[in-house]
Amino acid sequence: MENEAGAGNPAGDLAWNGASANPENQVSDGSQERDDSIKKIKCRGCGATEVVFNPDRGVFVCDFCRTETAPETATVGKITGDIQEIKEKEGFTISPGLDDAAPREVECLSFHCPSCKATLTVGNETDVGGLKCHWCRHQIAIADKVTGGIRPDGVIPFVLTKEQAAAEVTKYLKRRRLFSCREFVQTFKPEMIKPVFLPYILTRVRSECAIGGDAAIRIRSYTVGSKNSKKKYYDYDLYRFWRRFKISTNNLLIEAHSSYYVPPGVCPSIGTKNIINSIQPFNTEAIVDYTPKFLNGDFRAEFRDLNLDETMRSTIESRIKDIMVHNTLPSLAQYSHGYDIQFVSAQKEAGKYSSILAPAWLYSYRDQNGEISYICVNAQTGKCAASIPLNKVRLWVGTLIMQALAILGFVLLFFIL
């Protein structure tokens, strides 16, 4: 009853944030001390630095002469790769983008929203005179500026334009119009959608996995007793199953901001967690080199505020265990009477960790009571998720109608039989 693929002791976990455990296994992609100088993207035509990313064309466009410049991909090979690389890798690699938080105001500007307490980051050449929070629409003042800016390793560029994102939101709301708040639907304006980069930790790990428990195969079933006292019995064989194998997880994204990070054992339906986490997956093959010019124009970002600590490690292990169990279930189909998983273990052997930004379009709505609702759109795939306020009157009427129809059906069925 055992299915064993691979053996041997794990190579040990990486040293998280300077821990002393197995320091020789930790490798760095380049120097851990990131050069604070900015790599300017200058226009090839006129030399200007007012260059804004165009999602429709996937290039930077000069605001003056309209010359186009493609994003660079020089360091992408250190971030992503195929699954075979992880299968053959030894030790762990932590990218420079996962250094602890350090102020880099020269690259970007961060502001603290006094209304919803969010932190938003924009390019250092962005006009902040009319800056508003992309969560609650509160007007941001220069006095709200804070020290911030954790430079990521890469970024997934926007693919959907504002018009395309607005069309996806319109279709999303149309399918839910019946029980949605009428004011929420009617006041939707495409110009209020904001482009936001969200922070993630890109995880590529090889793990030694084990899963075990009890199971049963049904032999036969039979009924004992008369018409009024029937009882069904089952005969089955009991087994103890055990599976051990290696699993390589490639390009797994873990939320890296405390506002929507979901630790193990916590319900994700609190606040905006269920919305932000629902728009995955992102296509990590589209990652390009990060530059602060991605935050010019209307673009802004929420930079990572979580580090690779023990809590993040347990989250990564929990996600790997979920993947492991999902891949094990087909081998348990032979147990026709059921199974009970009692033991799950995942020991990481090797891996790479990087910091990236992923694109999303965000729309917020504040009702008369001050409650804020959101619509979030994956700026690659167009997948939508939202916390739409309900029309309680319609909801109650619909519930009463359904109950009335159910009672009517029961009465008709009673008289027919």
Cα distances (angstroms) measured from residue 52 to each of 196, 247, 292: 14, 41, 10
SS3 of residue 344 by DSSP? strand
pLDDT value for 402:
85
**Do 199 and 257 meet the contact criterion of CB atoms below 8 Å apart?**
yes
- 240 and 343 together in one domain: yes
Residues 6+ apart with CB under 8 A from 402: none
Q: Based on the structure, what is the number of domains in the chain?
A: 2
What average pLDDT does this structure show over 236-261? 89
Q: Quick check: is 136 in a domain? A: yes
Of 304, 354, 291, 251, nearest to 59 by C-alpha is: 291
Q: Quick check: is 150 in a domain? A: yes
Rounded Cα gap, residues 308 and 338, in angstroms? 38
- 330 and 368 together in one domain: yes
- 55 and 85 together in one domain: no
- 66 and 115 together in one domain: no
Rounded Cα gap, residues 73 and 286, in angstroms? 10
- 318 and 371 together in one domain: yes
pLDDT value for 137:
64
Q: Quick check: is 192 in a domain? A: yes
- 187 and 64 together in one domain: no
- 112 and 147 together in one domain: yes
Q: Quick check: is 394 in a domain? A: no
Which of the given ranges, 63-67, 137-141, 204-208, 255-259, has the highest pLDDT on average? 204-208
pLDDT value for 268:
58
Rounded Cα gap, residues 293 and 291, in angstroms? 5
Q: Quick check: is 408 in a domain? A: no
Place 391 in a pLDDT band, splitting at 50, 70 and 90.
Answer: low
- 57 and 17 together in one domain: no
Q: Quick check: is 372 in a domain? A: yes
pLDDT value for 378:
93
Query: Does the pLDDT of residue 180 top 60, yes or no?
Result: yes
Place 24 in a pLDDT band, splitting at 50, 70 and 90.
Answer: very low
H-type helices in 177-216, by residue range? 182-186
Q: Can the peptide bond before residue 152 be classed as cis, meaning omega within 30 degrees of 0?
A: no
Residues 6+ apart with CB under 8 A from 151: 34, 97, 104, 107, 290
* Predicted confidence (pLDDT) per residue in 395-405, tens digit: 777 788 888 88
Q: Quick check: is 406 in a domain? A: no
Question: pTM for the whole thing?
Answer: 0.74
- 148 and 51 together in one domain: no
* Predicted confidence (pLDDT) per residue in 52-111, tens digit: 888 888 888 888 888 888 888 877 777 877 788 888 888 888 888 787 654 444 456 677
What domain range includes position 51? Answer: 44-73
Query: Does the pLDDT of residue 178 top 80, yes or no?
Result: no
Rounded Cα gap, residues 236 and 33, in angstroms? 63
Residue 249 pairs with which residues in a beta bridge? 205
- 177 and 96 together in one domain: yes
- 9 and 123 together in one domain: yes
pLDDT value for 131:
72
User: 104 or 220: which carries more pLDDT confidence?
Assistant: 220
Q: Quick check: is 247 in a domain? A: yes
Of the listed ranges 24-33, 148-157, 327-336, the least confidently predicted one is: 24-33
Of the listed ranges 47-56, 191-200, 214-223, 318-327, the least confidently predicted one is: 47-56
What average pLDDT is seen over the chain? 76
DSSP string, 279-297: G----GGG-EE--GGGGST
- 245 and 313 together in one domain: yes
pLDDT value for 417:
62
Tokens (6 digits) for 44:
């090839």
